[in-house]
Chains A and B, each alone.
Chain A
Amino acid sequence: DAKTTQPPSMDCAEGRAANLPCNHSTISGNEYVYWYRQIHSQGPQYIIHGLKNNETNEMASLIITEDRKSSTLILPHATLRDTAVYYCIVRPTTFSGGGADGLTFGKGTHLIIQP
């Protein structure tokens, strides 16, 4: 079972910031928070990941609460092309070389950007 909880869907107006929440209350100290998105009929696209500190890259910002039990992905200026299913995933920081290294996808949040 997925270790994260996300709202099933969200709407956001084009040009506004999209804030996608994720709860991961059972996260352990050696697990990253990863965000991917999947545009219809394509493979997932890596967005960003973090451990404790907030992170920012050219696509998005990731805000992780101090207790690490939840996080928010921020798309600062959403465009129509950002319409996709967004997945929040927790994953161990070390690799075992086996199936435990694979990602467990939940249902994600279907973000719809409205023109």
Chain B
Amino acid sequence: GAVVSQHPSRVICKSGTSVKIECRSLDFQATTMFWYRQFPKQSLMLMATSNEGSKATYEQGVEKDKFLINHASLTLSTLTVTSAHPEDSSFYICSARDGGWHQETQYFGPGTRLLVL
């Protein structure tokens, strides 16, 4: 149980284009989902928190107009990187908090590696 998937696993795009990353909780309803970013040889950094049906909360220094988050259902959150630039190249990881039995714990997706050329 407690499986989180992400799609795509890897994406390469040209500078200036937008990229959408999906995060799904497969066997539980996620009342809250989180988006993290990890640069090479660094730890994960929280970007934003999204609760189903409400606006996301962004961490300091994360541009909400550049990283659009939608959490339209209890099993799906999307992160759209708008007008991507090479410095946005990173490993993007989502996590989901189970709103039910195991609600204390966050479960992570496998990550999406974004390369912007």
Contacts and interface: CB of A to CB of B under 8 A. Distances in A.
Contact of A43 (B43, B49, B105, B111): B111
B114 to A, nearest CB: 13
Interface size class of A (residues with CB under 8 A): 20 to 34
Which label, helix, strand, loop or mixed, suits the secondary structure of the A interface?
loop
A95 B43 contact: no
Contact of A44 (B32, B44, B45, B97): B44
A46 B105 contact: yes
A93 B108 CA distance: 19
A49 to B, nearest CB: 7
Interface string A5-29: 0000000000000000000000000
B104 interface: yes
Contact of B108 (A41, A46, A95): A46
B63 interface: no
Contacts of A108: 43
B93 A99 contact: no
Nearest to B111: A43
Interface residues of B, number: 30
Contacts of A44: 44, 93, 95, 108
B107 A46 contact: yes
A69 interface: no
Interface in B34-81: 34, 36, 43-46, 48-49, 51, 57-59
Interface string A68-107: 0000000000000000000100000101011101111111
Contacts of A42: 110-111
B111 A105 contact: no
Contacts of B97: 95, 101
A104 B32 contact: no
Given A32-B104, A97-B51, A98-B57, A43 B46 contact: no
Interface of B: 2, 4, 6, 32, 34, 36, 43-46, 48-49, 51, 57-59, 91, 93, 95, 97, 103-111, 113
Interface of A: 32, 34, 36, 38, 41-46, 49, 87, 93, 95, 97-99, 101-108
